[in-house]
Amino acid sequence: MSCDDDDRLPCVEGLIAATFALMTCWADPGAQRGLLAKKIASNLLLLREHPHLSPRLKRVMANAQEHWVAIARSPAAASETAKPVLH
């Protein structure tokens, strides 16, 4: 399925690519990991419910989404969210 086939749904490939890009940014020690973890969890939620993914891949996305929700809710992530980014 191409991204242009259904304008009402997020493009699966674009959503997966964006999620991997966010995960890469999250690995940067200077990143605002709390905010990134929330966005990663949000993207994974969209993927776990996307009708164009197989049931197996939806389960993988669901497991990953639960993991990233826990990361986003961790005390360390909450304290990082309030920090300004200085470059």
Q: What is the pLDDT of residue 1?
A: 44
Q: Which residue range forms the structural domain that includes residue 61?
A: 32-80
Residue 16, in any domain of the structure: no
Say whether pLDDT at 20 is over 80: yes
Domain assignment of residue 11, yes or no: no
Q: Are 16 and 47 in contact (CB under 8 A)?
A: yes
Q: What is the pTM of this model?
A: 0.80
Provide CB contacts within 8 A for 45, sequence distance 6+: 65
What integer pLDDT is reported at residue 87 of this predicted model? 43
Tokens encoding 17: 């690519």
Q: How many domains does the chain have?
A: 1
Establish if 25 belongs to a structural domain: no
Whether the CB-CB separation of 49 and 65 falls below 8 Å is answered with: no
